[in-house]
Amino acid sequence: MKFFNISIIEPTVYDFFKKAIAEIMKQRKEDKSGKHHDFLQLMINAQKKVVDVEETDDKLMDRLRVLYNRCSKQKKNRPILCCPNLLSHLCYLLAINPDSQQKLLDEVLAKSDSKGDIDYETIIRLPYLDACISETLRLYNPAPQTSRVAAKDYQLGDTGITVKKGIHIMIPIHAIHHNPDYYPDPHSFKPERFLPENRDKLVPYTYLPFGAGPRNCVGMRFALMEAKTVMARVITKYEFIRTKTTKVPLQMKKGKIFMTPTDITIGKIPGTA
């Protein structure tokens, strides 16, 4: 939006954070102890190393603003795009795959304490929940593609094709996630693909819901933990069911940057847990 000189953030809010960050940055640059271990310090350290582009404080603040927007809530308390999309698709998949829904419920109940409380330590001990979320992201990744810029000339095996340095490369995530060479029966919901005992069967760089490498999504862990926390609590309270108007398979809207279904309609009834 900077290109059009349009602000999507309340100026007073932006000015508040800008002044606060500027003051912290000033203190950090004067402090040579290197005792800080957070994202801001990583950005400041990276700023010192960049020599081929103009990396100003304003650009650094813009990057922090983008990070804040992605890892917090937008106006009207609506969560970031990834999490509601992920949870909507997961609820849909559980509704049309009741066996998987029961397995997930059994796991959550088995790992919860006697009061039914679910904390961080519980959530990280739920491999089937993690597998369900991973399989959902494989089937319905929010971004169907991503891009990278070649850092150097690279020969693609014996194809005779050389990718030149500086070339922009589009990576078709959706196509990779649905390639039967990597995922047999690719259109079916099979969380077992991502259980710990099966993960070593995955071909490297064929699962890219958040990208890969040093430039993958900075909000990945936050989004996954948010989704797991919500689902671990919801699955014990409601059962998702297929209705007469539930569409199988889902139809996606055309011409959208993110994969957005035309309609997700399922039912819910109080859980029996």
Quote the strand ranges of the chain, DSSP E.
146-149, 154-155, 162-163, 168-171, 238-241, 267-270
Residue set of the binding site: 217
Tell me, yes or no, whether 137 and 181 share the same domain: yes
Kindly state whether residue 75 falls inside one of the protein's structural domains.
no
Q: How many independent structural domains does the chain possess? A: 2
In this prediction, residue 140 has a pLDDT band, given cuts at 50, 70 and 90, of very high
Feature table: binding site for heme: 217
Residues contacting 89, CB < 8 A, separation 6+: 136, 139, 140, 250, 261, 264
Indicate if 97 and 162 belong to the same structural domain.
yes
Does some domain include residue 47?
yes
In a shared domain, residues 109 and 234: yes
Residue 103 pLDDT > 60, yes or no? Answer: yes
The answer to whether residue 193 sits within a structural domain is: yes
Q: Percentage of the chain surpassing pLDDT 90?
A: 50
Tokens 């922090």 correspond to what residue? Answer: 64
Q: Does residue 77 fall inside a structural domain? A: no
Residue 74 has pLDDT above 50, yes or no: no
Residues 256 and 176 in one domain: yes
Does one domain contain both 137 and 199?
A: yes
Indicate the pLDDT class of residue 37, thresholds 50, 70 and 90: confident
If pLDDT is split at 50, 70 and 90, which confidence band does 133 have?
very high
- Give the mean pLDDT of 67-82: 50
Q: pTM (2 decimals)?
A: 0.74
Final residue of a domain: which of 70, 101, 129? 70
Measured CA to CA, the distance from residue 241 to residue 95 in angstroms comes to: 4
Structural domain span for residue 37:
2-70
Distance CA 75, CA 9 (A): 9
Same domain, 64 and 87: no
